[in-house]
Structure 1
């Protein structure tokens, strides 16, 4: 997929915002002309107004373009939304029912494949990213991927009647913060990161 057009649009919106707006709505701190970001265990700065990403010296991997787009989208959100605590599935997001199959293939199936029979590993690796165990399914964790965007991952282990299954849930406020398509990318990145940590 060519992300260049989406990146250009996101960058333009970022440059039109003010640092004060970005700080107020995103919940991220500002240091000079840089926004201090923590995303899935990675720490880096986003320079304003250039939109340049600067990773800390210990980060061995480049920050992917899809990740940069996600973060820029979040930084320019103007939602005053407060978390409701009410969980919804991807198909309950605006237009989510149309994309539920790709979402399932990209995020839920890999979650179940890795942690459906290793629920303790889900709790363990999510904990390294600040995730907290919650009482859902056979195992579940909630990760605050962005300050205003918690994601809940749930797995049910297989039994005599049913195979292992899982789900990824969002706060009811999610649809006012990011486009629905972004949550598919975000959830797949969360699961990819957890799987990578579990393989170490």
Structure 2
């Protein structure tokens, strides 16, 4: 079942590659000034990792040479290109996922698959989390045992807060979005973007994910 699910995501990526070929690249770069057109790619950075969308066929490559781009990364990039609104702008209005436009129906799955995974993965590992944020050029925040702002994309900063476990409470995590997030991408992509953030932090920290992650791969 899982292989079938992954293959469906890959099929969706192939469909988005075709859509990308039909997009007006100059218009897209106006909406997303962070894009760079060079070496036959449109280049973009997602949670600290450089990616390139090939202009020849619309396929996405991870450009740091470490691993291939996974389905979550690719769909986050494709849907950003497909859903960004012409007048999207950073509002500096920070809200939890459930308070984004049209997000509430997805909130229970988001808690299970993202913030619970974030808390469980880094429970007892606050120092590893702090170092991971620093490696991703995060900006430290005053709230939480560990709190940092990092960029999902240059247009989409996110704030991660973590409280480690103690004698009374389990570890807890929270992630805030700028309210503009759904002007840049589909609300369901906010879920997979946050999921990718947690996965990237775990990858950088060298820790296995714990909990019921979505596991799109």
Q: 2:81 aligns with which of 65, 75, 84?
A: 75
- Please say which of residues 175-184 and 18-27 is displaced more in the overlay: 18-27
Q: Is the 2:61–2:68 Cα contact (8 Å) retained in structure 1?
A: no
Q: Is the 2:18–2:58 Cα contact (8 Å) retained in structure 1?
A: no
- Following superposition, the deviation at residue 4 of structure 1 comes to 4.5
Residues 1-200 of structure 1 mapped to structure 2, 5 A cutoff? 1=5, 2-4=8-10, 6-26=12-32, 27-31=34-38, 33-48=40-55, 50-56=57-63, 58-76=64-82, 77-159=84-166, 161-199=168-206
- Following superposition, the deviation at residue 168 of structure 1 comes to 0.9
- Higher relative contact order at CA 8 Å, sep ≥6: structure 1 or structure 2? 2
Number of residue equivalences: 199
Report the 3-state secondary structure (helix = DSSP H, G, I; strand = E; otherwise coil) of the residue aligned with 1:60: coil
**Could you state the TM-score of these two structures normalised by the residue count of structure 1?**
0.87
- The separation in 2 between residues aligned to 1:41 and 1:119, in whole angstroms, is 20
- Please say which of residues 36-45 and 6-15 is displaced more in the overlay: 6-15
Which structure 2 segments of 5+ residues have no match? 208-217
- Following superposition, the deviation at residue 161 of structure 1 comes to 4.5
- For residues 63-118 of structure 1, the C-alpha deviation after alignment (integer angstroms, 9 at most, x for no partner) is 11232121111123234322121111111122321111211121111211133433
- The separation in 2 between residues aligned to 1:126 and 1:30, in whole angstroms, is 28
Which structure 1 segments of 5+ residues have no match? none
- The separation in 2 between residues aligned to 1:176 and 1:149, in whole angstroms, is 10
Report the 3-state secondary structure (helix = DSSP H, G, I; strand = E; otherwise coil) of the residue aligned with 1:36: strand
- The separation in 2 between residues aligned to 1:156 and 1:118, in whole angstroms, is 10
- The separation in 1 between residues aligned to 2:163 and 2:199, in whole angstroms, is 19
What do you get for the CA RMSD once the two structures are aligned?
2.1
